[in-house]
């Protein structure tokens, strides 16, 4: 596969140690302009988005993804379950209740496989990410963390998960993290790889990394800053704050608070989340997916490139079936 210009940029940034070099390059006069020129090749990123393939997947292959997968597979347990529904909303469940849905190595690999499946799901419009048995996810399985605590393996795991979660967030689906119980460490990072977060009373999002002598490594800090701003992100990370639904709403981390399940099964919360998401996914898949694509490009790309991408995406819906139908029905928007 030919890497897009933006993909090549990500590849450079995601190589170990390359970010420091990248910062150095960027701080040199003219380097950022040069970067813009590379990234802004006409239509490259737009075409890439239209194909619906997250560029970082190809970059992961560039850094011995096979070797990393094999390493992670050596730590089995739990599963990542995916149900694609006729409604166009899929449900992804982090399933390892004996360890509060902590991510084993094989679950990390399975998450990548499920994201690949969702990338291929052309009828999809929405995604709900939840944890099994009434709690969200307690981050990395600490047994895995202990076994790969050397810097090389830690860096590989971190790059693998960064790539997977970046692709998750870029899916052309409106995604929601349904936070029942605790989202800790990597679990908190996972919530930021969704477009929205819905919390159930008693739920908590907590970046406990500081207490583990760590910082987020799955892309959670970069995404958190974009969601709540750097002041709030500093407080959340520096204080390992317990963010409950009330605080979540206050700082813009949570997009809504659900009533939650009365019997602890999680069924009611899932139904509520589906209803909440349904308000945004009603309509043809082509249009919903186009909406997500223009927002991703607006969020991630320099303005000039985002505008080109928006034009490319616009071209996919203009004169399309939904557009023609709306024109024929003389729709009024009172
Ligand atoms: C870049 C990624 C960074 C990371 O994600 S590092 C990992 C961050 N997460 C943590 O440190 C979570 C540590 N766990 C806890 O704080 C608590 O277990 C937690 C989640 C609040 C739940 O507390 P309780 O309700 O009291 O339940 P409990 O402690 O008895 O846990 C039930 C069983 O689950 C296990 N568990 C929970 N979180 C785990 C994890 N991350 N890795 C491996 N095992 C984990 C826990 O050991 C216990 O197992 P067991 O019943 O003793 O065999």
186 within ligand 1 shell (Cβ under 6 A): yes
CA distance 83 to 193: 19
Ligand 1 centroid to Cα of residue 100, in Å, is: 6
Asked if residue 26 has pLDDT above 80, the reply is no
Place of tokens 């790309």: 301
Which of 3-17, 169-183, 258-272 ranks highest by mean pLDDT? 169-183
Three-class HEC string of 131-173: EHHHCCECCECHHHHHHCCCHHHHHHHHHHHHHHHHHHHHCCC
210 within ligand 1 shell (Cβ under 6 A): no
Place of tokens 């936070």: 179
pLDDT, tens only, 106-160: 999 999 999 999 999 999 999 999 999 999 999 999 999 999 999 999 999 999 9
133 within ligand 1 shell (Cβ under 6 A): no
Ligand 1 centroid to Cα of residue 212, in Å, is: 12
Ligand 1 centroid to Cα of residue 130, in Å, is: 17
pLDDT, tens only, 63-119: 688 999 999 999 999 999 999 999 999 999 999 999 999 999 999 999 999 999 999
Q: How high is the ipTM of this complex? A: 0.99
232 within ligand 1 shell (Cβ under 6 A): no
- Residue 330, class by beta-carbon neighbours within 10 Å (0-12 exposed, 13-18 middle, 19+ buried)? exposed
Asked if residue 32 has pLDDT above 80, the reply is no
Asked if residue 330 has pLDDT above 70, the reply is yes
Q: Ligand 1: which atom is nearest the Cα of residue 218?
A: 1
Question: pLDDT-based confidence at 225, cuts 50/70/90?
Answer: very high
Whole-number pLDDT of residue 261? 65
| Beta strands 79-84 and 174-179, pairing class | unpaired
Question: What count of other Cβ atoms lies within 10 Å of the Cβ of residue 148?
Answer: 20
208 within ligand 1 shell (Cβ under 6 A): yes
């Amino acid at each position: 596969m030919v890497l897009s210009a933006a993909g090549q940029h990500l590849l450079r940034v995601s190589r170990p140690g390359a970010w420091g070099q990248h910062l150095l390059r960027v701080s040199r006069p003219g380097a950022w302009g040069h970067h813009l020129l590379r990234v802004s090749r006409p239509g490259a990123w737009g075409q890439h988005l239209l194909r619906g393939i997250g560029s970082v997947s190809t970059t992961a292959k560039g850094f011995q993804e096979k070797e990393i997968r094999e390493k992670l597979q050596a730590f089995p347990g739990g599963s990542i379950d995916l149900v694609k529904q006729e409604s166009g909303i899929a449900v992804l469940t982090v399933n390892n209740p004996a360890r509060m849905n902590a991510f084993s190595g094989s679950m990390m690999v399975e998450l990548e496989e499920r994201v690949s499946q969702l990338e291929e799901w052309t009828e999809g419009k929405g995604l709900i990410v939840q944890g099994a048995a009434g709690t969200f996810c307690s981050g990395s399985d600490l047994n895995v963390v202990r076994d790969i605590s050397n810097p090389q393996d830690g860096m590989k795991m971190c790059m693998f998960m960064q790539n997977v979660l970046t692709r998750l967030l870029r899916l052309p689906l409106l995604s929601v993290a349904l936070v029942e119980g605790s989202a800790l460490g990597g679990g908190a990072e996972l919530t930021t790889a969704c477009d929205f977060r819905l919390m159930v009373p008693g739920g908590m999002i907590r970046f406990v990394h500081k207490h583990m002598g760590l910082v987020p490594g799955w892309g959670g800090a970069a995404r958190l800053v974009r969601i709540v701003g750097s002041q709030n992100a500093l407080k959340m990370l520096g204080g390992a704050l317990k963010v409950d639904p009330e605080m979540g709403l206050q700082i813009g981390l949570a997009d809504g608070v659900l009533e939650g399940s009365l019997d602890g099964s999680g069924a009611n919360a899932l139904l509520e989340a589906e209803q909440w998401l349904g308000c945004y996914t009603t309509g043809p898949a082509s249009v919903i997916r186009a909406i997500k694509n223009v927002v991703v490009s607006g969020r991630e790309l320099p303005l000039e490139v985002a505008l080109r991408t928006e034009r490319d995406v616009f071209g996919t819906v203009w004169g399309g079936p939904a557009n023609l139908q709306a024109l024929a029905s003389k729709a009024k928007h009172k």
